[in-house]
Amino acid sequence: MPPGTRRLALLCASAAAWMLPATAQADQVKVAVAANFAGPLARIAEGFSTASGHTLSISVGSTGKLYSQIVAGAPFEVLLAADDATPKKLISEGHAVAGSNFSYAIGVLVLWSAQPGLVDDRGAVLASSRFARLAIANPKLAPYGRAAAEVIQARGLTDALAPRQVMAESIGQAYQFIATGNAELGFVALSQVAVPGQPVTGSYWRVPANLYGAIRQDAVLLKPGEKSAAATALLAYLKSPAARALIQQYGYGL
């Protein structure tokens, strides 16, 4: 065999030896994600899988419900919460890895209706009689529901709107209530109604940030994922330019 050909064969063999372990180590990450971020995470999963070879097993729910499942022993490896308090609490209780939490997005709250023209650009419809039902995620379980309650209180409408509220378990269920007409309008995440590449349906009011506390959404490495290279890789990927650009496309702050 000519020397040049021999060197090429050795280089190819070395490259194959380097690549095979990476393929063998490809793994699936069990991720618990707040309902508002389910859509963006599905898109992020595509890029992450292409870049790393790892895949995601995604469970969606309200942050409060996911917390209860984690404490009860659910084998999630990563939590993408809709607040920053829950990851800190999980760390303090020994269910998550200290120092692994960070903010991956700042949530934006909107008042949305599937009906064009129902919601005005100042949210004045809240004080009107133009609707019978208002969907809101349970403030005890969902940070976006808590933010919605703060907006209603800031507008001085807590008592007036109480009889018309339809309580949802999560922001995802609140969206479904509105989309199916079970509620004429309600509070959801901007990411649910302003999907990149799709036209916005209905009408919405982007709630001014001074009417509710900042929705700082944190990620954290859970104890079952402490020794998982794939789980660690996912958290690192969330900080990458590609992931951050996609998160911004969905209307989140960074």
Percent of the chain with pLDDT over 90: 87
**Is the model more confident about 22 or about 168?**
168
Q: What pLDDT sits at residue 17?
A: 31
Residues 35-61: pLDDT tens digits? Answer: 999 999 999 999 999 999 999 999 999
Q: What is the pLDDT of residues 232-254, one digit of tens each?
A: 999 999 999 999 999 999 999 98
Residue type, 201: T
The arithmetic mean of pLDDT across residues 147-167, rounded, is 97
- Asked whether residue 79 carries a pLDDT value surpassing 70, the answer given is yes
In the chain, pLDDT over 70 holds for what percent of residues?
90
The CATH architecture of the domain made up of 3-106+215-249 is 3-Layer(aba) Sandwich (3.40)
**155-167: buried (b, 16+ CB within 10 Å) or exposed (e) per residue?**
eeeeeebeebbbe
Q: Token pair 């990563």 is at which residue?
A: 78
Residue linked to tokens 């208002």: 134
Q: Which has the higher per-residue pLDDT, 13 or 174? A: 174
- pLDDT range class, residue 126, cuts 50, 70, 90: very high
Over 70: is that where the pLDDT of 20 sits?
A: no
Would the CA dihedral through 242, 144, 224, 55 be positive or negative? negative
Average model confidence (pLDDT) for the chain?
A: 90
Are 3-106+215-249 and 109-206 in the same CATH fold?
yes
Lowest mean pLDDT among 4-18, 35-49, 63-77, 193-207: 4-18
**DSSP β-ladder status, 28-34 and 55-61:** parallel
Cβ-contact 214, 158 below 8 angstroms: no
The pLDDT confidence band at residue 199, using thresholds 50, 70 and 90, is confident
Provide the token pair at 16: 């194959």
Q: Which CATH superfamily is domain 109-206 in?
A: Periplasmic binding protein-like II (3.40.190.10)
Average pLDDT rounded to a whole number, residues 185-196? 93
pLDDT at 13 over 80: no
Q: Supply the pLDDT for residue 12.
A: 36
Q: Per DSSP, which regions of the chain are E strands?
A: 28-34, 55-61, 78-80, 102-107, 109-113, 134-137, 165-168, 185-189, 203-206, 215-221
> 110 and 141 in contact (C-beta within 8 Å)?
no
Residue 24, pLDDT score: 42
- Residue 182 to residue 174: CA distance in whole angstroms: 10
> How would you list the strands of the sheet with 215-221, edge to edge?
55-61, 28-34, 78-80, 215-221, 102-107
Q: Where do the domains of the chain lie?
A: 3-106+215-249, 109-206
**Which tokens go with 67?**
């917390």
Q: Worst-scoring range by mean pLDDT, 22-26, 163-167, 185-189?
A: 22-26
CA distance 188 to 144: 7
Distance, in Å, from the CA atom of 106 to the CA atom of 70, rounded to the nearest integer, reads: 23
